[in-house]
């Protein structure tokens, strides 16, 4: 793996983790670890739940 690919991958990983692209994957991994074999939410359902949660429990943005 060349240096450029590695850096590009790091940047992609960073943006993905910061913006939330990898959140669903983390959720799946978390469920597999803690509740193996139990049903999972689909990605669309997962994000619905996330947004409902944000609706019920808003977090501030600063000035």
Partner 1 sequence: MSAPTAEPSEHIEETKGDVTYIRTEKDLPPVAIVDRSPITARHKLIFGAVAIVGAIAWAIIAFFRGETVNAVWFVIAAICTYVIGYRFYARLIEMKLVRPRDDHATPAEIFENGTDYMPTDRRVLFGHHFAAIAGAGPLVGPVLAMQMGYLPGTIWIILGAVFAGCVQDYLVLVISTRRRGRSLGQMARDELGAVGGAAAIIAVLAIMVILLAVLALVVVGALAESPWGVFSIAMTIPIAIFMGLYLRFLRPGRVSEVSLIGVVLLLGAVASGGWVAGTDWGADWFTLSKVTLSWCIIVYGLAASVLPVWFLLAPRDYLSTFMKVGTIALLAVGILVARPVMEAPAFSQFASNSSGPVFAGSLFPFLFITIACGALSGFHSLISSGTTPKLLEKESQMRLIGYGGMLTESFVAIMALVTAAILNQHLYFAINAPSAQTGTTAETAAKYVNGLGLSGPPITGAEITDAAKSVGEHSIVSRTGGAPTLAFGMSEVLHQVFGGASLRAFWYHFAIMFEALFILTTVDAGTRVARFMLSDGLANLGGPLKKLRNPSWRVGAWACSVLVVAGWGSILLMGVTDPLGGINTLFPLFGIANQLLAAIALTVVTVVVIKKGQLKWAWIPGIPLLWDLVVTLTASWQKIFSGDPKLGYWTQHFQFRAAAEAGKTSFGSAKNADQLNAVIRNTFIQGTLSIVFAVLVIIVVLAGVIMALRAIRGKGSELTEDTPVPSKIFGPSSLITTSAEKEVQKQWDALPASHAKSVGISAH
* Site for partner 1, rule CB under 8 A: 9-10, 13-33, 36, 43-44, 46-63
At closest approach, how far in Å is the CB of 52 from partner 1?
Answer: 8
Half-sphere exposure of 19 toward its Cβ, with a 13 Å CA cutoff?
Answer: 7
Q: Which is nearer to partner 1, 3 or 36 (CB)?
A: 36
Say if CB 10 and CB 17 are below 8 A apart.
no
What is the token pair recorded at 25? 């994957």
At closest approach, how far in Å is the CB of 8 from partner 1?
Answer: 11
At closest approach, how far in Å is the CB of 57 from partner 1?
Answer: 8
């Amino acid at each position: 793996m060349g240096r450029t690919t590695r850096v590009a991958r790091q940047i992609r990983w960073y943006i993905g983790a910061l913006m939330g692209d990898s959140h669903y994957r983390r959720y799946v991994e978390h469920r597999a670890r803690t509740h193996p074999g139990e049903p999972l939410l689909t990605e669309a359902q997962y994000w619905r739940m996330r947004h409902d949660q944000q609706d019920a429990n808003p977090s501030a943005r600063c000035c």
